[in-house]
Every structure is written in structure tokens, then in C-alpha cells.
Structure 1
Amino acid sequence: MKMKSPIKFNFPDNFLIILAGFPASGKSTLAKELKLIIEKCSVRSVKIVDPDLIRSEIAPRFDFKLEQKVRKRHLELIEISLSNGIIPISDDLNYYSSMRHQLKEIAERLNKKFFIIHVSTPFETCLSWNNVRGNPIPNSVIKKIHKKFDYFHRYQWDTPVFKIDMSKVDNLESYVIDLLNSLDLKSKEENVISPISDNFAQKLDVVTRQIVSEFLQSQNYQKSKKKILKLRKLYLKEHVKNVRSQEKIEEDFTYFLKTNLKTNKI
């Protein structure tokens, strides 16, 4: 790779890059270019966590029934990398918001930043590229994912910092350098979190209790009462540190419960 002038990125800490898009959208090509330039232009090491490699270690051919096992290993490798000062790239489909939320939780638990990049290559182009590479994933699976894809902006945290249609990129190196310049700035922004006031703590207690009560009024959740109460305690202890408004508490805690009660399919 030849660059016109020396470029250096001074990332003060490692962080998580979350790619999201259809199969055969060019995510792996983007991930490799990100790794190449980050390692060439900074002191940081990069680990691409590729589910295709994990699948090949588990079974010789694609089997949708094994996807939960693949996903579990994927999350484990992300956490290991983040814990060891490495920048992991989640080179997965991440087509459900619950999948992206799992990655968000890992980053926040380790006090690391995360950045979502939407690889928005059109569905028809993905099918064509998949055919060219020999259909490693059946087209029927790509069509299924296309129908189920959870698009962004429903939640404040679930907002891509970049959107890229790989079929329209002429100079990927130049694009990635611009992308990393922005990430370099964003990685240096401080998350200033003030201590929780007594009034806010009281509001937090009331709002989360009210949401638990609403859940338990539904017959679908009555058998999960003990788990819901434990999840509330866990949320108050570990997950609420970045929430500072009642509206966001309601949104974030409701989503947290639904995800952990497996009402969102993964």
C-alpha cells in the first residue's frame, strides 16, 4: 500500500468496530483494509473476528442450526480482544439490533467505545457477488436476512457512524483513511458522566419498578418473574451508568429486558 504522505493515528485506547450488512456486501474486504491501515499507521493491533472462519472450525459446510454456537464464539473473541488492548472488528452480519446490542454491552462493560459501520451495498448486488464467489452462503439465506434486517436509528446508541455502499467505492484506501481520521477524533472524545444524584436515583428506582410491573402484568412474562427481578438488579448495577434521562431509561431498560428474556430472536 502506497500512501502519498505519512499518516499516523494516535488512538488513546482501543475500541470496537461493528460492521453490519448483508452477506456478500463487502464487509470482509472493508475489514481487511481497516486492519491493514490501522496497523500500518498506528501502534494498535487489529483482530478481525470473522464468523466464516469460526464456522469452518465447527463444521465443513454452512448449517443454520449452528449459528448460535458460532455467535457465542464470536462474542467471546470480541471480548478477549478488547480486554487485551486490541481493536476487534466484528465482521459479522449483525442484522438484528439485538446482535448489535450484545456487542455494545461488551464494549460498555469494559469501558470501551464502539463504532457501528453500515455496509449498505444493495441486496441485488450482494446476490450477484455471492454467485461470483461460488455461493458460500445459499441465496435463500441472504433473502431471509434481507427481510429480517433491523435498520438503524430506532435507538440512539444504534446509529452508524458511517454508511458505505461498497459497489460505489472507487478508492477504498482513501475512503478508509477518511473514516479512520474521524474515528481518531471520536476515540479522543471523553464520555463525561456525572455522579447520579439522589433525585435521579429515586427516579431510576421508580421507573424501572414501573416497567417491571408492566412486564409482569402480561401473561407472557409471569413465569419469568424471578429472572426479571434479577435482571433489574443487574441493570441498576452494571448497565445504567451511561443513562441520564427518564426517556432513555425507559427505552434502554425495556430493550435490556426484552433482549435478555429472548423476546428478540437472534
Structure 2
Amino acid sequence: MPLIILSGYPCSGKTTRAQQILDFFQTKINSAPSDSRESRLRVHIVNTETLSINRTAYRDARAEKEARATEYSAVKRLMSKDDIVIADGLNYIKGLRYQLFCEAKAALTPSCVVHVASPADSCRQWNSERPALPEDGSFTDGSLRYPDDILENLIFRYEEPNGMARWDSPLFTVPYVDETPDLEGIWNAMVGKGVVVKANQATVLKPAAEGDYLHELGKTTQEIVGLVMEHQRNTGGAGSLPVPECGVALQLPANDLTTAQLQGVRRDYMKLHRSHVVGKARIRELFVEYFNKRFE
């Protein structure tokens, strides 16, 4: 069932909004006829508190990556035909929102993004009013203060949702001054009658297909990674890099990517698509599109 992805600055009020959504949806479910589909629904919130993710995880790149993977896995495990999942993490990187969108698409369930729009200065003030982390950095609850350096870093790196991007659509923006937002639109978009999600070539599961698909998946993605590495060694710099036998060009970021970054993108893509079998001719184009979205 539906996946609701919250996004916003740290301390912007996301957990408050997540609870408002849960309460509103639960009221709808409780008032639904006992023999209706809606009456069987369950609502879950997944956030740093439920997952016991330490605030200090965002100070170290490896720990931060593990924290995102923990959230991603928890959301994926909960998705089913009778469960509504509210992903109340930071979801500040568009690549993570794209991955969550793909998982919802593969499960043939609708998804949306709720942007909790609060000014950075307000978030700084609200953070300063919270209790500080214990000296040993141990986790106790989600109401604790972010260390100032982590807060500023996360605000600087925040990638705001864009309703024109399919993985951020539909996009619902909740202003910080709106104490009681209208949540009917989110309910209608996620649970309303007539909401149908169609599978596409990138996500549809096929139990049997080309026998050498996994070999081709690994070979093709490695060829494209090698193409980027060769370009960076010989030329470097941002710009468009044509890919042989592909109608989509790679869009390289301003800073050269490390081998670890490139292989990380390749591994993430292969995890998403190792079961989502597509024709071999499409592997190249889909990987290039995925690469471009990760580094926009």
C-alpha cells in the first residue's frame, strides 16, 4: 500500500507532520465500513527514533550511508497490500527518494512526497531549544538536539523536492506556519478510489527471462563505469559524455567521481534491477538515467 515520503530540513517538524498524517489516516480507516478495503489498512511510521539511529551518524560518510540503508530496508520490509508506510526520515538526498519511489513502483503501490517547508533559521532555533545529546553520543530519542556542525552540513546538502520529477510527484508542501494542514488530498492521492499504479519496464518483475541477464547487467554497468573513469583520467570536468549504443548521454558532475562512488552507484542500481528484468537493450539506457539522477 501507499508510501508517504516526508522530506525537510532537520528540526523542521517532520515528525509532527508524520503523526498528524497517521492520526488522520487512522481516523479514516476506523470510520470505513468493516467490509471495505480501507478497514484492513495499517499505518506505520519509520524514522530515526523507531530505528534507533544516532544523530552523530551524519558526521561520518560511512555511518551516514548505513543509516540511509537502514531506513530504506525498514521501509521496504513494511510495504504490503495492507500497510501504509510513512517514511519520516530526513530523505534529503534525491537519490534516496528515487530508490524509495522505485520500490513503491515495483510493489505497484502509489507514493508521494510531503515537503515540510520550514526556514533554515527557524530550524536552527528549534534545534537549540532541544535537549543536547549525551556526552557519549548515545541515542535516547528523536527529540534530541543535532550538534551544530551536523545541522549546518545537512541543511547545506539538502536537495529540495521538485514536483516536476516523477519520483517527487505528487508533491504536497506543508508550510511550517500551517498548524492543521488539509490532509484530505494526500488520502485521496494515496488511498482514494481509482488510484492505480501501472508497472513499467524498469520495475516489472518477470520470473523468467533472458538467461544471461545478470551477466549482461554486470557487464554493461561496468562498461559505463569504465567509460566515466577513462574520461576523467584523460579529460575530466563536468559535461555531457556520450555512451555508445545509447540514446541518453551521461551528465557528469563538476567534481570527478572516485572509483568507490562509481562502484557504489553501480551496486545500488544492480540491487534495484537484478530482479526487475528488462531487455538487454534497455539496461544501458536505464543505468545512464539512474546515474544522471544520482548526480543531478
- The question of a shared fold, defined as TM-score above 0.5 by the shorter chain, is answered with yes
Alpha carbons of structure 1 residues 216 and 120: separation in structure 2 relative to 1, 3 Å: same
State the 1:191 CA deviation.
1.9
Superposition map of 1:148-159 within 5 A: 148-153=157-162, 156-159=165-168
Alpha carbons of structure 1 residues 157 and 99: separation in structure 2 relative to 1, 3 Å: same
Partner residue, 1:254: 291
Alpha carbons of structure 1 residues 212 and 17: separation in structure 2 relative to 1, 3 Å: same
Counterpart secondary structure, 1:52 = coil
CA displacement 1:92-147 (0-9 Å, x = unmatched): 11111122123223323433332112111111111122223335212332221111
Distance 2:263 2:190 in 1: 41
State the 1:235 CA deviation.
7.0
Partner residue, 1:137: 146
State the 1:176 CA deviation.
1.5
Partner residue, 2:16: 29
2:176 alignment partner, one of 167, 171, 176: 167
Aligned 8 A contact 1:18 1:90 in 2: yes
Counterpart secondary structure, 1:158 = helix
Distance 1:164 1:151 in 2: 11
Partner residue, 1:67: 64
Partner residue, 2:86: 89
The unaligned stretches of length 5 or more in structure 2 are 30-38, 133-144, 205-216, 234-256
1:184 alignment partner, one of 179, 191, 214: 191
Partner residue, 2:25: 38
Distance 1:69 1:230 in 2: 14
Superposition map of 1:113-124 within 5 A: 113-124=110-121
Aligned 8 A contact 2:46 2:88 in 1: yes
Distance 1:227 1:139 in 2: 29
Partner residue, 1:199: none
Alpha carbons of structure 1 residues 84 and 189: separation in structure 2 relative to 1, 3 Å: closer
Counterpart secondary structure, 2:79 = helix
Distance 1:140 1:228 in 2: 27
Q: What one-letter code is carried by the residue in structure 2 that aligns with 1:252?
A: E
State the 1:161 CA deviation.
2.2
1:217 alignment partner, one of 227, 230, 245: 230
Q: What one-letter code is carried by the residue in structure 2 that aligns with 1:28?
A: T
Partner residue, 2:32: none
**RMSD, matched Cα:** 4.3
Distance 1:144 1:233 in 2: 29
Distance 1:98 1:225 in 2: 14
Aligned 8 A contact 2:46 2:75 in 1: yes
Aligned 8 A contact 1:26 1:166 in 2: no
Aligned 8 A contact 2:8 2:14 in 1: yes
Counterpart secondary structure, 2:86 = strand
Distance 2:258 2:82 in 1: 40
State the 1:181 CA deviation.
2.5
The unaligned stretches of length 5 or more in structure 1 are 1-13, 196-204
Q: What one-letter code is carried by the residue in structure 2 that aligns with 1:25?
A: S
2:65 is aligned with 1:78 = no
Alpha carbons of structure 1 residues 94 and 231: separation in structure 2 relative to 1, 3 Å: closer
Identical aligned pairs, as a percentage?
Answer: 19
Alpha carbons of structure 1 residues 222 and 168: separation in structure 2 relative to 1, 3 Å: closer
Partner residue, 1:100: 97
Please state which structure has a larger fraction of its residues in helix. 1
CA displacement 1:32-71 (0-9 Å, x = unmatched): 111112122122111100113423xx66x74434433333
State the 1:89 CA deviation.
0.9
Distance 2:46 2:56 in 1: 17
Q: What one-letter code is carried by the residue in structure 1 that aligns with 2:187?
A: L
Partner residue, 1:9: none
State the 1:159 CA deviation.
2.5
CA displacement 1:200-242 (0-9 Å, x = unmatched): xxxxx9x98985663353346889999998888777754576x
